[in-house]
Chains A and B, each alone.
Chain A
Amino acid sequence: METRAPSVVAVVVTTGPAPGLEGTLSTLAGQDYEEMSILVVANEAGDEIASRVAAVTPHAFVKVLDENRGFAAACNEAAVMVQGAAFLLFCHDDILFYEGAVRQLVETAFRGNAGIVAPKVVAYDDPFILLHVGQVADRFGAVHERVELGEIDHGQQDLERDVFVAPGGATLIRSDLFATLRGFDPLIPVLGEDLDLCWRAQVAGARIMVAPTAVVAHRQTVASGERLVSAAGTRSASRRDLLRRHQLMTVLTCWTLPTLLWVLPLFVMLDVAEVFLSLVGRDTDRAGAVVGAWRWNLRHHQHLRRRRKELSAIRILSDGDVARLQVGGASRLKTFFTTLFQDGIDRARGILPPAEAPPELPPGETVGGVGFASAFSEDESFDEFGALSAVDGTGRPQRFGRLFTGVRSQLSLVAGVIVLWAFGARNLVAATLPNVGRLAPLDSWWSTWRHFFASWSPNGVGTGTPGMPGYGVLAFAGTFVFGRMGVLPRVALIFAIPFGAWGVWRLLRGVVSNRARLAGTIAYVAFPVGVNLVARGRIDDLVVVALLPFAARRVFALLNIPGFRPVPFADAVAFGHRGWGATRNGNTAVLVLQVALMTAMAPAALVVFAVVIIALVWSKWLLGRRSGALERPWGLLGNVAGGVALLLLPMTFDTIAAGRQSLQLFGLAQSPSSGLSFTELARGANGPFGTGWASWLLPFVAVSAVALARGPRRDLAVRSGAIATLSLLVAMLVERHWLGPVAPDADVLLIAVALSVALLAASAVSAIENDVAGSQFGWHQVVVVVCLGALFLSAVPLFAQSTSGRFDLPTTGTPEALGSIAPSTLGGYRVLWLGNPSILPVAGWSVAPGLAAATTTDTVQGGATLFTPPNAGAADDLLSAVNEALQGRTARLGQLLAPSGISSIVVMTAAAPSFDNEQTVATVAPPSNLIPALHRQTDLTLVTGPPGFEVFANSQFHGIVAERTSPLSPSTTSSDHDSVVGWTPSLDFGYRTGPVSAGTTLAGLAPSSAFALSVNGKNVPRSGSLGWAATYLTPAGDGQLVLHQLPLNGVLAAITLLLWVAFAVGFGALERADGLLVRLRRRRASTETVAVVEASVTDEVDA
């Protein structure tokens, strides 16, 4: 009987061993659709494929391709072979067709006038599990299933409907439509070819439908990883790479230009955000896939142009019509937030495996336990919000006490803290930053690099010591903000504490419950130290706030403290090879890098590291034998110290050369009268915050942790307590000046205290969860109640701190208020800053306990003197002069300072000026005899200064460079009156050029040998004067003072950079680069192959 049914050609594309091929063919052969023929296209198959096909379907045609060009290319090949068929049914070789599937597909195509029809796809092993019932996509090409993962088929999807994507595996398509679309894109061999074909089909006006009555089972050998993607052009790419690049290509092809103009920027933003999150989560593969997608599409821009042109020729539907068929919004974003709120940040970033199923409990035992202790169950799946909504018979909520055990509530709390922080930092985003602390405007990116390589720096009266590595760190960081150096301080102010808090979260991973981790994280934010450092503009110390938790995690792991090394270090891998970073040596190297970064910005970080190691050794003794041995703590200390010394070579040189002043590297001596008291130290009140009663809450929680904890929690509490105790001890001794010149910055030590308090807070919560649970009612419970109350209330001050929007960072800094003190004369000038070391806006040296001195040259801004070497060098004379005045041993300080070009002395009694009703800044008074001593000077004039400052003008000032007619005797000292007589400023301000008169020119720039004065192009003889300055006997003419020094510092800086590079090489950077090159070569080769294939296919289709 002649049939009128349209003919269907089932194209089965098989690749490699094809384990399900027989099943596919046999179920196809068993279909009740008579007008169907089978064509098997074998990609890179052996000779046995024909016999395997013949064994199942003797009438099937077999086409063997000489190489695996992918599913799409094979389908295109088959389409060329087939003539006269109404429909093509493209199938994978791992499909089982249920009875009547083909017939139902064809019927649906006719009923709905569909161009493409997809069947209902169920799991291969379980036909009741739905895999696909068509798919939807958003405007960015992100494909979504219409069914949930693991959804049971109850017939709920059995309704014919339009879909946007007919998922690959089994797809019925009208052959004329396929020809119109010029087949699959040959550059999309697999993964994403279905989206591309369907989108183009809809642009061409075709309808895509799902036929739920047609059922197939899909083994998904590619998606499940059972079979690798091995098509040409895909060998060096992961599945994710392929998906992302094909998705992007489809988007770039299918939208018209006007739509693309607004869709593409959004696409870029999403990708940038995803890359950022991936890098934060160390998911470099994902980041690489996103970036690689753009790179791949850019490389194929000509192909893209051709595709767009072809599609434009057949376009029927407008973009608006197509968009109506898609889902709104951005699916990727929705998925991220859905995962974030359901499974947490780690899952959202995709770095954690799915949570394991909870262990089965013995009969009769519940997860949460009963009674008081059950309020603090570690059962994180428990959602107290749900419990709160459930009420008992009395209408009261059940199990009220189990707060923050659920992921949703924890994330809500985190979101709340983030919102609070964002609210508190809102004015730091765009408002002008004051010049307080270390917020002096940074020089340009290039100038900052130059400071690092410089042969001379203006610290004090000038020094030729190597540039401090902090400039290198800043310049390197500036690279990532495209040289916008002003962004860096804002980033530090806004993100250092959140970043450090995240470090605490990671530090505690696997050690305590998520709730305890959350408590520790929030405690790190709430402890006043960090916020105070923001309020004081100490971006150098904020770097330590951000990095210390990460370094601590590494220290704990390297010392093998239980719980902090979840997996053993990798076996030994040679230096320079991939995987070295996972070894013990590699972890040590990472620790060295972290400590070096912190030390470059705040050298006292190295002391903190030593304190942590010593405290851990001490805690080992406190805990006894059962705590386990520490792995080579002193070796680790030595290795890290040595590594840091190597990586910060210029600083090491400076420190060695400083001799007895070398200890000033770590901090300047404090005075007992102005230093922080013990109670202030214990509460972290090193700034405007933490002076109220609430600041005692976290220390109380910390002490409670030691009292409550048992077992592993106790070990953690004791170790943290030891770190806090030792840090406080050192800080207190420093603030009392009982350690003499050994005075590591107490602010940095307090960061270690903050970290310890955070760990102790986490220990306290963990102890409540685990150790108090089974105990009888007693003092423990009382402490628990108070402790929990304290923990909750400790976050309250954060609200107060956030009200100003800038954490009380002053709006006006000192230099802004002193803008008028710059003399408008030739010769240049210096400003001498005197005050407590903790409030000076530039780095300096110690004059006396509690008093530091620093200079700024030709400016009141300290951007060029943010870091200072420990060796004062020639500035020792300047410090001695101030000390003489302080001790009442001179009445002419102005004269002693005049050769240094000091025009003004600014005595700071506060970090910033106080203005009524505008900003209030706490007073940190210098030594009480300083102001009287300066008043006693006959040549200093008190001039009007802002509130909180005393400004003295030097009546003997004559510029940094000055000239006079009479010579200066070599034996003259600054004490001799002749040293200040007759000088007039000379040479241009800043550039040091200009006319000079016949006579003597004095240059107050050290070292004197580093400068040469030329007059009319000829160098004039130089002689030393006043112990450190230079005098030149000059004829009249045009003079120019130039730096004339060998760039040895630059060589040292270059060696340092090379050392950093060598460290990076150690982690396998070369191997990675080599692998990248190999991949590039392969891609190029495959691209060329694909291009050839594409050309041939295009020709054939055209034909």
Chain B
Amino acid sequence: MSTHIRTRSHRAEFALAIVVLLIFAVGHFGYQNATENLAEGLAISPDAESTALYCTGFTGGGGATPAVVTFVDSSNEGHDVTATLVSSTGASRVVTLHVPAHGVSQLTPSEFPGNGYYSVSALVHGGGVSASSSFTRAATSVIPCVGQGDVTWYSSGLSTHVGADAYLTMFNPTAGDDVVSITALSPTGFSAPSGLQGLVLAAHTTTTIDLGASVVNQTDIMATVRAQRGSVVVSALQMNASSKTSASATGGVISPSRFAVFPSTTTVDGLRSVLAIANPTNAPAVVSVSVVIRPYATQRLSITVNALSVGDLVVSPSSGVPAAGAAVLRVTSTMPIVTTLVTQLDNKKNQWLIAPALPGSYQAIVDPTGQGFSSASLVNTGDQSASVVLTAHNFTGSHSVTLIVPAHDSRVLNSDTVSAWKAGAVTVTTDHPLYVSAAVAGPYLEGAVENGLGVR
């Protein structure tokens, strides 16, 4: 007699278990790695229906800081731009201009009549147009125009010591009232001047704040602007009281960060480059700076900035950094900090406030003075080498240069390459985001630096 032993099939349990585990695994890890399946919002998309650009912080032809606003069209078709010039005195004017395809068009100081500080609100009928504003008198400062207002804004390196003035110019790009508050961090600590809290900025108006009236006789000031309601476009203006022509401006940053890159930092004799560092956090920040100047080996610089405090790190002149032209600074910090590169002549008559560069795959650099550039730097902080195409527009003849920037490396284009780029713009197209900046040619030994503008 045979005995049959019935064994139960576990196929169902195993199959269910495997499917459930698979779903769990894919669901769990897929969730971790899932990327936002949305367009991030291209800054200036070439096929946009309309875009807006905002610049602020300059005066008209008779003022202390006259500027030109340069529009660059990187797309294949020209666009009309309706620019509204808004003065802090309440005056406004609408100017219409056309930016040709792959060309530039400018608003000159003569179109900013009257007193006060100006802002430009430019509505571009389409996309692919970017802009920057550049001071035309004495030292050149270049501030990129932005596509939207921000709710927070920071800049370090400002000074209200005797003989200097610092101004914050704010423009409200929205159709409603803004409410903003301004605070400051200086060597004496944090301050929130009562007169600068809850400021109401009417829609599409420009307001200028004299920081020195509230933060008296301080150096290394970090100013913070927070919009409690709406958004705001801000630029900081630093002037020597003794000479209204000696002014510099910066577009600042929208948030503190642990990493910053300054692609073009002068180290030549006669100029002084200092990193103004502000630590707005409640823990000390250990800041380390690597200075790269080919073919020299340099020592790493470092500084510890206490919580809610500011500090200076002198890059040049420095015993460890050779005076050999443009250097690349990479700043890393243990805490989020606000960094501004302050470059000044030894006599301190002229100075430049330079914000960190931002990475991008499509950028432009504009020659604001018509004198061309003295150098240009490309920094690749990624893990893959980047292929770069530089195309010059609106020059006599067209130039196109292709080069490779290795991973974790940089390329500095010397004057032989870039000196021919005058009175126009250069678009930088890469397959991986790069930091781009160029030193504006002029009498002050590469003190003025222009960071790349995002064009798409």
- List chain A positions with a Cβ less than 8 A from chain B: 619, 622-624, 671-673, 677-679, 681-682, 703, 706-707, 710, 714, 718, 721-722, 725, 728-729, 732, 736-738, 848-850, 884, 886-892, 894, 896, 927-929, 932-933, 935-943, 953, 955, 975
Contact = CB atoms under 8 A, between A and B. Distances in A.
Contacts of B31: 672, 677-678, 736
**Of residues B39, B48, B49, which shows the largest number of chain A Cβ atoms within 10 Å of its Cβ?**
B49
B2 interface: no
B120 to A, nearest CB: 13
Contacts of B34: 672-673, 736
Contacts of B30: 736, 738
A725 B37 contact: no
Contact of A706 (B8, B9, B13, B41): B13
List the 6 closest A-B pairs by CB distance, nearest first.
A941-B176, A678-B27, A672-B34, A891-B52, A889-B48, A888-B41
Given A725-B16, A888-B48, A890-B50, A943 B176 contact: yes
Contacts of A718: 12-13, 16
B42 A887 contact: yes
Nearest to A889: B48
B340 to A, nearest CB: 24
B360 interface: no
Given A732-B27, A889-B47, A936-B52, A849 B38 contact: yes
B36 A671 contact: yes
Interface residues of B, number: 51
A678 B23 contact: yes
Contacts of A938: 52, 121, 123, 173-175, 204
Interface in B75-119: none
B74 to A, nearest CB: 15
Interface string B12-36: 1101100110011011101100111
B41 A622 contact: no
Given A849-B38, A941-B203, A707 B229 contact: no
Given A890-B49, A892-B50, A935-B230, A929 B174 contact: no
Contact of A887 (B9, B12, B41, B231): B41
B45 interface: yes
Interface of A is mostly: mixed
Contact of B50 (A679, A891, A929): A891
A625 to B, nearest CB: 10
Given A677-B27, A714-B12, A936-B52, 19 more contacts: A671-B37, A678-B23, A678-B31, A681-B27, A729-B23, A736-B30, A736-B34, A848-B38, A884-B48, A884-B49, A888-B45, A889-B48, A889-B51, A892-B50, A936-B147, A937-B174, A941-B175, A942-B230, A955-B175
Nearest to A975: B49
B345 interface: no
A710 B13 CA distance: 11
Contacts of B43: 888
B23 A935 contact: no
A16 to B, nearest CB: 62
Contacts of B38: 671, 848-850, 886, 927, 929
Contacts of B123: 891-892, 938
B24 to A, nearest CB: 6
Interface of B is mostly: loop
B4 interface: no
Nearest to A673: B36
Contacts of B11: 622, 624
Nearest to A848: B38
B40 A929 contact: yes
Given A678-B23, A927-B36, A933 B41 contact: yes
Contacts of A953: 175-176
A711 B176 CA distance: 70
Contact of B174 (A672, A681, A682, A935): A935
A725 B19 contact: yes
Contacts of B27: 677-678, 681, 732, 736
Interface string B149-168: 10100000000000000000
B16 A940 contact: no
B229 A942 contact: yes
B37 A889 contact: no
A362 to B, nearest CB: 25
A890 B148 CA distance: 11
B175 A940 contact: yes
B50 A975 contact: yes
Contact of A889 (B49, B121, B173): B49
B39 A935 contact: no
Contacts of B311: none
Contacts of B50: 889-892, 975
A622 B26 CA distance: 22
6 contacts: A706-B13, A736-B31, A887-B41, A890-B48, A932-B148, A933-B41
Interface string B430-447: 000000000000000000
B12 A935 contact: no
**Of residues B20, B40, B41, which shows the largest number of chain A Cβ atoms within 10 Å of its Cβ?**
B41
Contact of A942 (B20, B23, B51, B174): B174
Nearest to A928: B36
A623 B13 CA distance: 9
Contacts of B151: 935
Contacts of A937: 174-175
Contacts of A671: 36-38
Contacts of B263: none
Nearest to A895: B50
A848 B37 CA distance: 9
A725 B173 CA distance: 51
A927 B37 CA distance: 10
B123 to A, nearest CB: 6
Contacts of A892: 49-50, 52, 123
B52 A935 contact: no
A1030 B349 CA distance: 65
Contacts of A679: 28
Contacts of B174: 935, 937-938, 940-942
Contacts of A884: 48-49
Contacts of B47: 889
B234 to A, nearest CB: 15
Nearest to A717: B12
Interface string B37-66: 111111111011111100000000000000
B125 to A, nearest CB: 8
A619 B30 CA distance: 26
A894 B176 CA distance: 13
Interface in B144-203: 147-149, 151, 173-176, 203
A721 B121 contact: no
A175 to B, nearest CB: 81
A932 B41 contact: yes
Contacts of A955: 175
Contact of A721 (B16, B28, B49, B203): B16
Contacts of A721: 16
B368 interface: no
A669 to B, nearest CB: 9
B127 interface: yes
Contacts of B51: 888-891
Contacts of A943: 176
A29 B48 CA distance: 113
Interface string B121-138: 101100100000000000
A847 to B, nearest CB: 10
Given A722-B16, A940-B174, A955-B175, A887 B39 contact: yes
Contacts of A725: 16, 19-20, 23
Contacts of B39: 886-888, 929
A896 B50 CA distance: 11
A725 B22 CA distance: 11
**Of residues A706, A888, A935, which shows the largest number of chain B Cβ atoms within 10 Å of its Cβ?**
A888
B12 A936 contact: no
B23 A728 contact: yes
